[in-house]
Structure 1
Amino acid sequence: MPLYKTITPNSQTTVKIWEITESYEELMQPITLTETCMNRVLSMKSDLHRRGFLSVRHLLAEFGYTDADLYYDENGKPHLKDGKHISITHSFTFSGVIISDNEVGIDIEKQREKIAVIAHKFIGYERDYLDSSAEDYINKLTVIWCIKESLYKLFATPGMLFRTHFLVIPFMIKDEETVAWIDYKDFKYRYNTHFFEFEGFTCAYVC
């Protein structure tokens, strides 16, 4: 059972990362799924997506939860029946879950050059400090995407745009933290965000 990493940002919050090395059959055997989730898994065409979905259920078990403890609201945001806050992510061969007493968001993304092609879709204010010729340009783009995706998962409000409503202030990759803002309609929220790189992936989380 490859639990890759556990992080405890504070006494109310825990992050767990899973490296997906098992086959679909190996991941399926030790866990029990609700009928809804079983149907969802069986309808997935991608083996990688099925394994990512199941690995999240293994992470839930690491926290002491079962699939039946998890439900989703009308915006697709996950919740736990005991009232704790949860956010979920998976990308290729890694998945992650963050659980806290407070609102949280998490995202994992594989670092890929093609993120530069879509940068105009999620970069706004950040264009003022990003240098497309810098060696760490792709890494910084990936961090910004992960932070904004984490904020979106935390807020789960239709109509929010990454480029317009989320702002990430300048940072260094080595710092592994920065400040981000949500500026949406009459709301302005400041968040301390954290990120780290591993195995060619980036993970960011917001609590």
Structure 2
Amino acid sequence: MGLFKDYRGDDFRFSVWKMEENIDELLTLLPDNECYAQRLSQFSSLHRQLEWLSVRVLLYTMVGEHKEIVYEQSGKPFLKDGSYHISISHTRGYVTLILSALHPVGIDIEQYSERVSKVSSRFVRSDEVVTLYKGVYTWSLLLLWSAKEVMFKCMSRVEVDFKKHLKVFPFQVVEEGILEAQEYHTADHRLFSIHYLVQTDFVLTWCVDKL
């Protein structure tokens, strides 16, 4: 399947890759694939190898040249050459990546699963609204969680409590929309506008943080 979705904005771009290739097929899509193949040994599971390679293939597909992804101590990814701000996310069967040359970015993808309701008390505030969509609350819960993941990534801070420090204002789920949110972790109490898509088997949220 490969490239599942590709979107270009004025100052950012994001893509979603559907993971259906095996290791050998992914390696053929990369330059200097022997170098990538050698680095796979750092992962013990085939699933992690496929995720890691799929992200690199997606990045190469987007920018047309090799760029090395490195990580801060917190786990936040960045490009070694500093050419773009990036954010990465993956869920079962998909990886996604957003980049911008100008602004910090955050992206998150979450597979549809009713298990989110079992942990909702950990991230849903009493002043947040969970609504029905297609007869279930699952989509609304997934968007709440996913939006807070994006806020967390844009904030680049540790010790953020998703329930205490992050709030998504009331919304009604549609196939494509914008969530308004606010953080209470800093003295600034910054506001965020988080875009989202609802697909058949996942939700996708992203933010271009223009401060």
TM-score range normalised by the length of the shorter chain: 0.7 to 0.9
Which residue number corresponds to residue 29 of structure 2? 30
| Aligned partner of residue 196 in structure 1, secondary structure | strand
Q: Give the letter for the 1:7 counterpart.
A: Y
Distance in 2, Cα, partners of 1:72 & 1:179:
29
Alignment of 1:66-77 (within 5 A): 66-68=66-68, 70-77=69-76
CA contact (8 A) 1:91 1:110 kept: yes
Q: Give the letter for the 1:146 counterpart.
A: S
Which residue number corresponds to residue 77 of structure 2? 78
CA contact (8 A) 1:176 1:195 kept: yes
Q: Give the letter for the 1:108 counterpart.
A: I
**Taking structure 1 as the reference length, what is the TM-score of the superposition?**
0.88
Q: Give the letter for the 1:57 counterpart.
A: R
CA contact (8 A) 1:52 1:91 kept: no
Distance 1:162 1:12, change over 3 A: same
Q: Give the letter for the 1:185 counterpart.
A: T
Distance in 2, Cα, partners of 1:194 & 1:133:
17
Which residue number corresponds to residue 183 of structure 1? 184
Distance 1:126 1:115, change over 3 A: farther
Q: Which has the higher helix share?
A: 1
User: What are the ranges of 5 or more consecutive residues in structure 1 without an aligned counterpart?
Assistant: none
How many percent of aligned residue pairs carry the same amino acid? 24
Distance 1:67 1:183, change over 3 A: same
Q: Summarize deviations over 1:132-166 as a string: whole Å, max 9, x none.
A: 89823100100111111111112221111111111
Alignment of 1:40-59 (within 5 A): 41-59=40-58
Alpha carbon RMSD of aligned pairs, Å?
2.4
| Aligned partner of residue 55 in structure 2, secondary structure | helix
| Aligned partner of residue 164 in structure 2, secondary structure | helix
Number of equivalenced pairs: 203
